[in-house]
Homo-oligomer: A and B are copies of this chain.
Amino acid sequence: MRGKFSGFLLVPQIIFIVLYGVFVQYDVQAGPRNASDTTSSEHFDKLYPSKFLFQDVHVMIFIGFGFLMTFLRRYGFGSVGFNFMLAAFVIQWTILIRGCLDLEDIKDGKININLETREITNQPYVSITILISLRFLNADFACGAVLISFGAVLGVLGPIQLIVMAILEVVFYSVNEFVIAHKFQISDIGGSMVIHTFGAYFGLAVSLVHWRPELKDAHPKEESVYHSDLFAMIGTLFLWLYWPSFNGAPAAGTIIGERAVINTLFSLAAAGVSAFAMSSIVDKSGKISMVHVQNATLAGGVAAGAVANLKIGPLGATLLGSSSGILSVLGYAYITPAILQHMNIHDTCGVHNLHGMPGVLSGVAAVIIAKATSPTTYTTLELSAIYPGRVNNLDFQQQANLQLAGLAVTLGISIIGGLLTGLVLKAPFLGSVKHQDLFDDRPYWNSRARNQTIFQ
Contact = CB atoms under 8 A, between A and B. Distances in A.
Interface of A: 1-6, 9-10, 12-13, 16-17, 20-21, 24-26, 29-35, 40-41, 43-49, 51-52, 55-56, 58-59, 62-63, 66-67, 70-71, 73, 76-77, 80-81, 84-85, 88-89, 91-92, 113-116, 121, 124, 136, 159, 218, 220, 222-227, 229-231, 233-234, 237-238, 240-242, 245, 253-255, 258-259, 261-262, 265-266, 268-270, 272-274, 276-278, 280-281, 283-291, 293, 297, 311, 313-315, 318-319, 322, 377-382, 443-450, 452, 454-456
Nearest to A276: B85
Contact of A47 (B1, B49, B218): B49
A268 B280 CA distance: 41
B33 A113 contact: no
A237 B35 CA distance: 38
Contact of A258 (B47, B227, B242, B377): B47
Contacts of A284: 2
Contact of A288 (B25, B34, B46, B446): B446
A55 B241 contact: yes
Nearest to A236: B84
A453 B84 CA distance: 31
B290 A17 contact: no
B63 A241 contact: yes
Given A230-B76, A242-B55, A285 B2 contact: yes
A269 B88 contact: yes
Contact of A56 (B20, B55, B88, B229): B55
Nearest to A122: B41
B225 A455 contact: yes
Contacts of A322: 13, 17
A259 B1 contact: no
Contacts of A456: 226, 454
A338 to B, nearest CB: 18
The copy count of this chain in the complex is 3
A85 to B, nearest CB: 5
A199 B234 CA distance: 25
A48 B253 contact: yes
Contacts of A225: 449, 454-455
A417 to B, nearest CB: 23
Contact of A88 (B16, B254, B268, B311): B268
13 contacts: A17-B315, A17-B322, A20-B318, A41-B121, A43-B255, A48-B253, A63-B234, A76-B230, A80-B237, A84-B297, A88-B269, A287-B446, A289-B446
A48 B379 CA distance: 23
Nearest to A454: B225
Nearest to A58: B241
A225 B230 CA distance: 14
Contact of A1 (B76, B114, B280, B446): B280
B274 A13 contact: yes
Contacts of A85: 272-273, 276
Given A63-B238, A277-B9, A254 B44 contact: yes
A67 B89 CA distance: 24
Given A6-B278, A41-B124, A59-B241, 17 more contacts: A3-B281, A9-B276, A21-B313, A24-B314, A26-B262, A34-B379, A44-B254, A47-B253, A73-B449, A77-B226, A84-B233, A92-B270, A113-B262, A225-B454, A227-B227, A287-B443, A289-B447
Top 8 A-B pairs, shortest CB-CB distance: A2-B286, A88-B272, A21-B315, A226-B455, A41-B124, A9-B277, A35-B379, A290-B447
A318 B447 contact: no
A150 to B, nearest CB: 15
Contact of A226 (B76, B84, B378): B76
A270 B10 CA distance: 10
Contact of A234 (B234, B265, B266): B234
B30 A262 contact: yes
Contacts of A285: 2
